């Protein structure tokens, strides 16, 4: 494990990453790390919960976990078949250069379309102007 000091620039951290694994079973809208990873050209492997699939778009892989993962008391362990599925996706990202490059391209496109602060600021300003 590598511990990193608090930073306001995630680029250094994401420069060492090949992909982001986001298997959330909570009821959040999504995780900011999805946008951060994609802004740095990192594909995301995430669960189908909350807003994660919408944030990932074509810039990663969404994995459907069984419904029991989302039920209290949230103690269900992953079956071997699910772990093998996730592992096979991870291995393909590492072993298939063309596959990885395609998802990197899609992650950057998703980031530019939905997570880019300049684009989102322009959209916000345009929306505010329609109110006046």
The enclosing domain of 79 has a CATH number of 3.40.50.2000
Q: Does residue 6 lie within any of the structural domains?
A: no
pTM, two decimals, is 0.84
Q: Does residue 22 lie within any of the structural domains?
A: yes
| Residue 126 confidence (pLDDT) | 95
Contacts of 7 (CB under 8 A, 6+ apart): 13
| Residue 24 confidence (pLDDT) | 84
Q: Does residue 4 lie within any of the structural domains?
A: no
The answer on pLDDT for 1 being more than 80 is: no
Domain that holds residue 34: 11-129
| Residue 92 confidence (pLDDT) | 97
Question: Residue 37, class by beta-carbon neighbours within 10 Å (0-12 exposed, 13-18 middle, 19+ buried)?
Answer: buried
The answer on pLDDT for 17 being more than 80 is: yes
Domain count across the chain: 1
Contacts of 123 (CB under 8 A, 6+ apart): none
The answer on pLDDT for 71 being more than 90 is: no
């Amino acid at each position: 494990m590598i511990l990193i000091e608090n930073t306001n620039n995630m680029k250094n951290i994401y420069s060492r990453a090949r992909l982001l694994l986001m298997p959330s079973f909570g009821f959040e809208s999504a995780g900011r790390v999805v946008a951060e990873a994609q802004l740095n050209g990192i594909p995301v492997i995430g669960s189908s919960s909350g807003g994660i699939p919408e944030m990932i778009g074509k810039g990663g892989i969404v994995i459907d976990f069984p419904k029991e993962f989302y039920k209290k008391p949230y103690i269900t362990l992953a079956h071997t078949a699910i772990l093998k599925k996730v592992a096979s996706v991870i291995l393909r990202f590492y072993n298939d250069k063309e596959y990885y490059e395609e998802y990197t391209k899609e992650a950057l496109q998703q980031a530019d379309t939905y997570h880019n602060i300049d684009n989102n600021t322009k959209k916000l300003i345009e929306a505010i102007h329609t109110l006046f």
